[in-house]
Amino acid sequence: MERSPLEFEPGAFADLHQRAARRLLNMHYHSRIGHIGGNLSCLQTMLLLHHHIMEKDDVFVLSKGHAIGALYITLWTLGEIDDAALTTFHADGTRLAGHPVAQWHPRIPVATGSLGHGLPMAIGMTLAKKLRCEPGRIFCLTSDGEWQEGSNWEALIFANHHQLERLTILVDQNGWQGFGSTSEVASMANLAPRLAAFGPRVTTVNGHDPQAMLQEISLPPQDNPGPRILMLETIKGYGISFMENRLDSHYLPLDQAGWKQAMRELASREAS
């Protein structure tokens, strides 16, 4: 937890992402666990935050808890989780459960995954830091489907009212949720202007362009003293052709044929 952010180098980050994606797919395949698409859509975001943005007093809250695999792999790339632990993913008695288990690791402060709970807890942490005059920022990653939860809108009103400028909310806007696209289920396609109407500064960026994300997050606070919201335009199942923008990548695990094809696609990109 005492490490400082690393200098960003595009080629090195691309290599890091490829290595992480391969390990993520292997972990999910050997554990026979799904939720792969939503992990792949936000893996770059988690890697960028933990390797290049967050400092020792910063806190990360994974509100979209079903993407915990991407966080475990990110911690693996940091050397904070080993391969032996990854083999216990989703197994009986494991600490590496299918949703975050609070405080077994210093980078997992709260249990999340019942969607709509992570952001309110992140806001509480941000307010506590403000009241105690403690250093550090809070980064909270939510899903776009998660914004169908009323608790998030109540929390956003509170965060903006109390001018919690050290809170950054990231929305993994891959356009899909458990039963279909977000536009089909609850017409949430134009989420950014709805969020902006509550007062915070809202910016949209390509969630698969780490340099663009880094530049936006690194900008100093503007006139608005409240929280910052970064809409990440992402692709569910990013990087694996037969998983991209597919509903079945939300739940279904990889079979052997799919796993082999995914490994071939990753190897092909590494060779190019």
Does residue 1 lie in a domain region? no
Does residue 3 lie in a domain region? no
Does residue 200 lie in a domain region? yes
Is the Cβ–Cβ distance between 10 and 211 less than 8 Å?
A: yes
Which CATH number does the domain housing residue 59 bear? 3.40.50.970
Does residue 6 lie in a domain region? no
Enclosing domain of residue 16: 11-271
User: Counting runs of H as helices and runs of E as strands, what totals does the chain give?
Assistant: 11, 7
Which pLDDT tens digits describe the chain residue by residue (272 residues)? 567 788 999 999 999 999 999 999 999 999 999 999 999 999 999 999 999 999 999 999 999 999 999 999 999 999 999 999 999 999 999 999 999 999 999 999 999 988 899 999 999 999 999 999 999 999 999 999 899 999 999 999 999 999 999 999 999 999 878 777 888 788 766 899 999 999 999 999 999 999 999 999 988 766 678 999 999 999 999 999 999 999 888 889 999 999 999 999 999 987 76
Does residue 67 lie in a domain region? yes
Buried b (16+ CB within 10 A) or exposed e, 220-256: eeeeeebbbbbbbbbbbbbbbeebbeebebbebebee
The number of folded domains in the chain is 1
Does residue 5 lie in a domain region? no
